[in-house]
A = this chain, B = another copy of it.
Amino acid sequence: MGNDSGPVILLTAALDEEQRARLLDAAPGARILSEQDLAAHPDLVGRIEVAYPRLPSALWARAAGLRWLQTSFAGVDGLLANPEARRHPAVLTNVHIHVNCLAEHLWGMALMLVRNLHGSVRVQQSGHWDTQAVTGGVGTLAGGTLCVAGLGAIGAQCAAMGRLMGMRVIGINRSGKPHPSVDQMVTPDKRREVFAVSSLVMLLLPGTEETRGFAGKAELEALHGAWLVNGGRGTAVDTNELVRALEDGRVRGAGLDVTDPEPLPDGHPLWALPNVVISPHYGGVHPGYEEEALEVFRGNLRRWVRGEPLQNVVDKSKGY
């Protein structure tokens, strides 16, 4: 433990020798600990300086030496729900390797709903060609209005895709400042007016107290047969009100990668609504994900040992 030439790193992911070697190349002299090491030597917890991709929740109170946690995910709301983690002074960094993948996922959901492809999947099970059975509810988005709430990298990509498809795009974020991927940007207090003119609403909001109930009763009542896709956090939508809006057609269809509660309980009415598609929180999952996350950590680790600023630092006061 007397090695002062590199940081003590807790690795809670299973890495192979080659991957560990790459980390040591970025941080020569680092000592890498596993959870097994901690179990065998509990006193080592206080020596941890860096952790990746998680710190077991019970360790936060004892990890007095932790200075930096690099996650392998984007949304830190779950992590910050732990009071010990929230008040811990360690720097928190996340990854933004979901951008393309999540934009593909959310647009897949939106277009599937608009073109009733979920209906086609169900009708296909009958093994019979029946165009009439599936064309009743089809629509098109070109010429319509897209509302994108949350203009991070994913929201910006989703907005650009909407524009290419011939939609007018209205963005919603806290600043309300113009953004190159949207035609108009407004602040969250204007969301009802935006919802009222939207044919498609895409929610990409982080899970914070401020975004809770972003699409509540009043907002969902402002919709007129719009499609809704949620790829941020389930808490942005009032689930009971969403069910009502789906039943009466104010929401024409919903694509939900996230729900509230999550996981959605067995027997919840959302499961059986014909105009709902639920993808159980895998919008960011893609081949190579773990490797890409490791590369983000490795880049930051190199900066860490050199004393350079880290990338993807989370503002804990904002929650993202």
Binding site for B on A (CB under 8 A): 100-101, 103-105, 107-112, 114-115, 117-118, 120-122, 124, 127-131, 134-135, 138-143, 160-161, 164-166, 262-268, 271-272, 276-283, 285-287
Cα(A277)–Cα(B118), bound, Å: 9
**Is B122 a contact partner of A121 (Cβ separation < 8 A)?**
yes
**Is A277 a contact partner of B120 (Cβ separation < 8 A)?**
yes
Please give, as numbers and ranges, the residues of chain B lying within 8 Å of A111 by CB-CB distance.
104-105, 107-108, 111-112
**Is A104 a contact partner of B165 (Cβ separation < 8 A)?**
yes
**Is A277 a contact partner of B104 (Cβ separation < 8 A)?**
no
**Is A114 a contact partner of B108 (Cβ separation < 8 A)?**
yes
**Is B117 a contact partner of A112 (Cβ separation < 8 A)?**
yes
Cα(A109)–Cα(B110), bound, Å: 11
Please give, as numbers and ranges, the residues of chain B lying within 8 Å of A263 by CB-CB distance.
129
* Contact with A271, one of B103, B122, B124, B267 (Cβ below 8 angstroms): B124
Q: Which residue of B lies closest to A272 (CB)?
A: B127
5 further A-B contacts with Cβ under 8 Å, apart from A103-B165, A129-B280, are: A105-B117, A111-B112, A112-B117, A129-B262, A129-B264
**Is B112 a contact partner of A108 (Cβ separation < 8 A)?**
yes
**Is B115 a contact partner of A105 (Cβ separation < 8 A)?**
yes
**Is A124 a contact partner of B278 (Cβ separation < 8 A)?**
yes
Cα(A281)–Cα(B120), bound, Å: 11
Please give, as numbers and ranges, the residues of chain B lying within 8 Å of A110 by CB-CB distance.
108
Please give, as numbers and ranges, the residues of chain B lying within 8 Å of A122 by CB-CB distance.
121
* Contact with A115, one of B104, B115, B141, B278 (Cβ below 8 angstroms): B104
**Is A120 a contact partner of B279 (Cβ separation < 8 A)?**
yes
Cα(A276)–Cα(B117), bound, Å: 12
**Is B121 a contact partner of A121 (Cβ separation < 8 A)?**
yes
Cα(A124)–Cα(B129), bound, Å: 23
Cα(A285)–Cα(B160), bound, Å: 25
Please give, as numbers and ranges, the residues of chain B lying within 8 Å of A276 by CB-CB distance.
124
Nearest-CB distance from A105 to chain B (Å)?
Answer: 5
Nearest-CB distance from A138 to chain B (Å)?
Answer: 6
**Is B104 a contact partner of A282 (Cβ separation < 8 A)?**
no
Nearest-CB distance from A218 to chain B (Å)?
Answer: 28
Please give, as numbers and ranges, the residues of chain B lying within 8 Å of A104 by CB-CB distance.
111, 114-115, 140-142, 165
The CB with the most chain B CB atoms within 10 A, among A103, A139, A166, A285, is that of: A285
**Is A131 a contact partner of B101 (Cβ separation < 8 A)?**
no
Please give, as numbers and ranges, the residues of chain B lying within 8 Å of A140 by CB-CB distance.
100-101, 104, 286-287
**Is B117 a contact partner of A282 (Cβ separation < 8 A)?**
no
